[in-house]
Amino acid sequence: MAPRCSLEEALSLAATWRAEGKRIVLANGCFDLLHVGHVRYLQAARALGDVLLVALNSDASVRRLKGAGRPVVGEGERAEIVAALRPVDAVVVFDEDTVDSLVSRLRPDVQAKGTDYTEESVPERESVLGAGGRVAIAGDPKDHSTRDLIAAILQRFAR
122 or 146: which carries more pLDDT confidence? 122
DSSP code of residue 119: T
Residue 111 has pLDDT above 70, yes or no: yes
Q: Compute how many other C-beta atoms are within 10 angstroms of the C-beta atom of residue 159.
A: 2
In this structure, are residues 103 and 83 in contact, taking their beta carbons and an 8 Å threshold? no
Average pLDDT score, the chain: 94
Q: How confident is the model at residue 149 (pLDDT cuts 50, 70, 90)?
A: confident
- Beta strands, E only, the chain: 4-5, 24-29, 51-57, 90-94, 110-113, 134-137
pLDDT at 1: 62
